[in-house]
């Protein structure tokens, strides 16, 4: 577990309070995967620039929506921590055949 998550693990392993009237909080055993999901992960600078120029809006041109969706798939799928999560969970992402 990365060092920055040490305090979380410490809470889980801490013994209950000495005062029996206070409830003991049970924290489930959980693994934390820190996955960077940002445009900065894109290797294509032209794509990065295009996406960063898009307004925060519910109305985007179809081209921008298509590129945003494609970039999201790339950004989430590539980080090593996400690949480790998939492997440890025993799952695989299957591409949507309906999408180009």
Cβ within 8 Å of residue 39, ≥6 positions away: 48, 51, 52, 71, 75
Can you give the pLDDT at residue 8?
52
Q: How many helices (H) and strands (E) does the chain have?
A: 4, 0
For residue 68, the enclosing domain spans: 3-89
Can you give the pLDDT at residue 11?
52
| Residue 96: inside a domain | no
| Residue 100: inside a domain | no
- Of 74, 14, 26, 78, the C-alpha closest to 48 is 74
Can you give the pTM of this predicted structure? 0.55
| Residue 95: inside a domain | no
Structural domain count, the chain: 1
pLDDT along the chain (100 residues), means of 10: 52 56 72 86 91 88 91 89 92 72
């Amino acid at each position: 577990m990365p060092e920055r998550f040490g305090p979380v693990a410490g809470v889980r392993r801490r013994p209950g309070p000495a005062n029996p009237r206070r409830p003991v909080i049970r924290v489930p055993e959980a693994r934390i995967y820190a996955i960077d999901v940002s445009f900065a992960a894109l290797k294509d600078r032209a794509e990065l620039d295009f996406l960063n120029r898009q307004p925060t809006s519910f109305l985007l041109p179809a081209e921008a929506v298509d590129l945003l969706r494609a970039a999201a798939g790339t950004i989430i799928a590539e980080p090593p921590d996400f690949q480790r999560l998939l492997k440890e969970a025993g799952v695989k992402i299957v591409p949507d055949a309906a999408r180009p």
